[in-house]
């Protein structure tokens, strides 16, 4: 591209180069902005940094890894159920207008022994509402303590795999046996991951986003 810039009756080659460089820089910034994604993490205590400083949570750690490339909003609430998430989702999507939504809900439903069918119906409704907004959505699943019995746990975990297959959306399984068996990985309440596990969860989510080309 050649610019013919004239001021006060003369042409200055150095000025041409300066303006050309500014235009190239502006084009690069615009191109980077066009590829930037806005990720919304929509979950419960697992994503809300429960029992620790917010800066220790995996969502904050992920935002640091993506700084300058993509942005993250965290609308996670400790204790949230799929019913509560479904109720506040439309306003959240309207206000934040994300490109990608990580739907990490259901644990509190399971801990309260709610019907797997109810959990599935609420998650399906949230997936469809998110898709209707124009955003890409993926599910994140977990498990329950063994005291809930293998039958209920299997039904609970099947909710996520069934929805992933039915709706054709990616599924990230955040359950890892070592989180339970490794000393210091779970908080004293026996339920919530500790600060030690947060970098691991961050890496799991980041790898998943990259492996599924969700940030492209």
> Which residues are identified as catalytic?
45, 189, 192
CA atoms of 154 and 157, how far apart (whole Å): 5
Residue with tokens 């977990």, as numbered in its chain: 142
Burial class (CB in 10 A: 0-12, 13-18, 19+), 40: buried
Strand boundaries in the chain, DSSP class E: 6-7, 10-11, 38-43, 71-74, 100-104, 136-141, 171-173
In this structure, the chain runs to a length of 216
DSSP assignment of 47-86, as one string? TTTTTS-GGGSHHHHHHHHTTTT-EEEE---TT--HHHHH
CB atoms inside a 10 Å sphere around CB 66: 17
CA atoms of 178 and 91, how far apart (whole Å): 37
CA 122 to chain CA mean position, Å: 18
């Amino acid at each position: 591209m050649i610019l013919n810039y004239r001021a006060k009756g003369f042409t200055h080659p150095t000025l041409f180069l300066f303006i050309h460089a500014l235009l190239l820089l502006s084009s690069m910034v615009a191109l980077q902005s066009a590829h930037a994604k806005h990720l919304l993490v929509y979950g419960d205590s697992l994503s809300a940094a429960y029992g620790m400083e917010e800066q220790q949570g995996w969502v904050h750690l992920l935002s640091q890894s993506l700084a300058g490339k993509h942005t993250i909003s965290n609308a996670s609430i400790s204790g949230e159920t799929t019913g509560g998430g479904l109720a506040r989702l439309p306003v959240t999507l309207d206000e934040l207008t994300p490109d990608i939504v990580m739907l990490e809900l259901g644990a509190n439903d399971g801990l309260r022994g709610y019907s797997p069918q109810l959990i599935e119906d609420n998650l399906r409704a949230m997936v469809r509402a998110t898709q209707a907004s124009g955003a890409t959505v993926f599910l994140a699943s977990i498990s329950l303590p063994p005291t809930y019995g293998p039958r209920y746990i299997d039904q609970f975990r099947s909710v996520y795999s069934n929805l992933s297959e039915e709706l054709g959306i990616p599924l990230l399984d955040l359950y890892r046996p070592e989180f339970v068996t490794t000393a210091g990985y779970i908080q004293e309440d026996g339920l919530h991951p500790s600060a030690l596990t947060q970098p691991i969860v961050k890496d799991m989510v980041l790898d998943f986003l990259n492996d599924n080309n969700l940030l492209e």
